[in-house]
């Protein structure tokens, strides 16, 4: 029912937009004809009026055709329209902007409290950022790795698709065999070129968490982009090869593909709605806000996380210590959640969208008003949700002929949980599937219990309470395991010992001094 509602909504939006364009041009055409009729005498040549009518109709057709560039191919898929981000609209209201000012005031207090504590303990003002320097260590290697990944994604998928399109044009025998061959090469590139090699560079060079997250998250993003490019263009080319309604094969230009690799979306289109100008002041403001969120997160960890987990990790992690740790971690967990959302989904995406004049800024919806986890999953990160919905959920239903909708939803949750846990495992350097269990157990359970039929303020309170508690669990368990890995290293660990969390057995008598944070 949700899928049908979404399809009907998209069809209504498309039809409404087309009707509005038709009405607008019909008014312009009638006005132009009326002016001409009033200004021309009875002896006017009727052939001139016929040419004027044909010209105005041609303008209408051309305009409607240009509008169809933003429509989904074959009437399906995501519809891109020009719209602003929700927070940009809300911050124009003074009452909402006051909340933004409150967070800035809290950052100022964090800075002053850190300076005061350092002055009392050290007798001087300490303004070093050792945690940031450590977290973003070996950054030149990160830049080189990203350049190699980007160039490979720019060249390999486009070249493979271009070569494959020539084998399907009719001049080659056995086109299905070529499809299997090029498809296998593409999957091999996704697995080895984008999957294995960046991970190997990260692991062998022991990149710190922040530098590692840049490489791994870009790895996942580029893999999703390459899949979208192939997934959107292959069906379109096959449709052309059967009907051949257009004069030439439907092969996208390199400039379109290059724009897509930088655009803040994971759904490929040849063209997107574009803004007329670039507001460079807006771009600078968003990047400064990202930098501010980075320092904000630094002070959250320095003031609220590191002092707590350094002392807790020296003790045996029993049930009592775990409960206290979880509740003490809720505040930093919530702050990190808000900072990650604001810095990445709002500021970072809007900055690149503004530089590219990308007009569709709906990177998220009003997830804070959700009364169900089902709605929260759809509105928290619209960019990733669109990719999962169109290329995982709908393709699963297409392959199963729409027979196993619960299985399709379970498959989406599994893919999302595995990717999130993969990112954390590689970035932290240990396997501790806390996020995977939260996704597959509590996430699935809340998705069916707190569904879309739950309305009212009480359900929004329940959603926020569960979200806060989950953030406390994530910050507590991963931080405790991070310090346990450094305080209680294993000299010759076996495979089973690597899978077992070190925090379950690390205690004061086994502590080994470590200089790492």
Q: Cα separation of 110 and 104, whole Å? A: 10
Q: Residue 273 region, left (φ>0) first, then alpha (ψ -120 to 50), else beta?
A: beta
Q: Is 67 exposed, middle or buried (0-12, 13-18, 19+ CB in 10 A)?
A: middle
Rg of the chain on CA atoms, in Å: 28
Q: Which residues are marked as active site?
A: 420
Nearest of 59, 49, 71, 54 to residue 24 by alpha carbon: 59
DSSP H helices in 429-456: 434-437, 444-449
120-134 pLDDT tens trace: 776 666 667 788 888
**DSSP state at residue 80:** P
What b/e sequence results for 458-488 when a residue is b if at least 16 CB atoms lie within 10 Å of its CB, and e otherwise? Answer: ebbebbeebbebbbbbbbbbbbbbbbbbbbb
CA 135 vs CA 131, 139, 205: distances in Å:
6, 10, 14
- Exposed, middle or buried: residue 183 (CB in 10 Å: 0-12, 13-18, 19+)? middle
Which CA distances in Å does 183 have to 157, 212, 227, 253, 338? 10, 30, 11, 20, 41
pLDDT of 452 reads 65
Report DSSP state, residue 174: -
What's residue 439's pLDDT? 80
Angle at 62 between CA 57 and CA 63, to 5 degrees: 100
Residue with tokens 């190997």: 200
How high is the pLDDT of residue 228? 93
Instruction: Identify the bridge partners of residue 358 per DSSP, sorted by sequence position.
Output: 274
Give the per-residue pLDDT at 516. 45
Tokens, residue 332: 């930093």
pLDDT of res. 34: 42
Question: For the segment 421-475, what is each residue's pLDDT rounded down to a tens digit?
Answer: 999 999 988 888 888 888 877 777 777 666 667 677 888 898 899 889 989 999 9
Rounded to whole angstroms, the Cα distance separating 324 from 311 reads 13
Would you state the torsion angle of the CA atoms of residues 36, 37, 42, 48, taken in this order, to the nearest 10 degrees? 50
Are the C-beta atoms of residues 153 and 222 closer than 8 Å to each other?
yes
pLDDT at 129: 77
| Cα–Cα distance, 10 to 77 (Å, whole number) | 9
pLDDT > 70 in the chain, percent: 76
| Spatial distance between the Cα atoms of 167 and 288, rounded to a whole number of angstroms | 49
Return the pLDDT at 456: 78
Copy the structure tokens of residue 232: 């959107």
**Cα distances (angstroms) measured from residue 218 to each of 91, 122, 260, 273, 350:** 30, 40, 14, 25, 18
SS3 274: strand
CA distance 377 to 415: 14
pLDDT of residue 436: 86
Would you say 259 and 356 are in contact if contact means Cβ atoms under 8 Å apart?
Answer: yes
- Residue ranges of the chain with per-residue pLDDT less than 70: 1-76, 122-127, 169-173, 244-249, 311-317, 448-452, 454, 492-495, 506-517
Q: For residue 118, what pLDDT is reported?
A: 73
Tell me how far apart the alpha carbons of residues 107 and 113 are, in angstroms, rounded to a whole number. Answer: 10
Structure token pair of residue 110: 């964090």
């Amino acid at each position: 029912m949700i899928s049908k509602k979404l399809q009907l909504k998209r069809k209504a939006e498309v039809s409404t937009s087309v009707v509005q364009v038709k009405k607008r041009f019909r008014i312009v055409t009638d006005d132009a004809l009326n002016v001409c009729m009033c200004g021309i005498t009875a002896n006017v040549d009727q052939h001139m009026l016929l040419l004027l009518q044909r010209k105005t109709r041609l303008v209408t057709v051309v305009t409607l055709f240009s509008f169809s560039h933003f429509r989904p191919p074959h009437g399906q898929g995501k519809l891109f329209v020009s719209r602003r981000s929700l927070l940009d609209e809300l911050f124009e209201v003074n009452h909402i902007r006051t909340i933004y000012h409150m967070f800035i005031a809290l950052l100022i207090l964090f800075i002053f409290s850190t300076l005061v504590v350092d002055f009392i303990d050290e007798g001087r003002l300490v303004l070093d950022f050792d945690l940031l320097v450590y977290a973003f260590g070996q950054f030149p290697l990160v830049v080189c790795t990203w350049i190699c990944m980007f160039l490979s994604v720019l060249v390999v998928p486009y070249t493979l698709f271009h070569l494959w399109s020539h084998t399907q044009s009719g001049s080659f025998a056995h086109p299905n065999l070529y499809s299997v061959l090029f498809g296998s090469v593409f999957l091999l590139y996704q697995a080895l070129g984008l999957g294995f090699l960046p991970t190997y560079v990260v692991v062998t060079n022991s990149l710190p968490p922040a530098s590692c997250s840049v490489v791994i998250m870009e790895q996942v993003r580029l893999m999703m982009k390459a899949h979208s490019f192939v997934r959107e263009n292959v069906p379109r080319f096959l449709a052309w090869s059967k009907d051949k309604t257009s004069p030439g094969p439907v092969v996208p230009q390199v400039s379109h593909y290059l724009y897509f690799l930088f655009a803040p979306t994971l759904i490929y289109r040849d063209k997107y709605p574009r803004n007329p100008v670039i507001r460079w002041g807006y771009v600078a403001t968003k990047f400064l806000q990202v930098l501010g969120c980075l320092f904000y997160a630094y002070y959250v960890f320095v003031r609220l996380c590191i002092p707590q987990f350094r002392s807790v990790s020296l003790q045996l992690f029993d049930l009592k210590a775990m409960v206290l740790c979880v509740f003490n971690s809720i505040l930093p967990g919530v702050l990190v959640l808000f900072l990650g959302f604001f810095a990445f989904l709002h500021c970072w995406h809007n900055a690149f969208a503004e530089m590219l004049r990308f007009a569709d800024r709906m990177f998220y919806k009003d997830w804070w008003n959700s009364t169900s986890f089902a709605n929260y999953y759809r509105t928290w990160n619209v960019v990733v949700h669109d990719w999962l919905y169109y290329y995982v959920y709908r393709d699963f239903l297409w392959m199963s002929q729409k027979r196993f909708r619960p299985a399709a939803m379970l498959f989406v949750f599994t893919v999302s949980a595995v990717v999130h846990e993969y990112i954390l495992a590689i970035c932290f350097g240990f396997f501790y599937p806390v996020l995977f269990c939260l996704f597959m157990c509590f996430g699935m359970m809340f998705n069916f219990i707190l569904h879309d039929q739950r309305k009212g303020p009480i359900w929004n309170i329940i959603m926020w309470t569960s979200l806060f508690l989950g953030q406390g669990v994530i910050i507590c368990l991963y931080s405790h395991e991070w310090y346990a890995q450094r305080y209680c290293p294993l000299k010759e660990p076996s495979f089973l010992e690597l899978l077992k969390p070190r925090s379950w057995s690390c205690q004061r008598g086994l502590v080994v001094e470590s200089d790492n944070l």
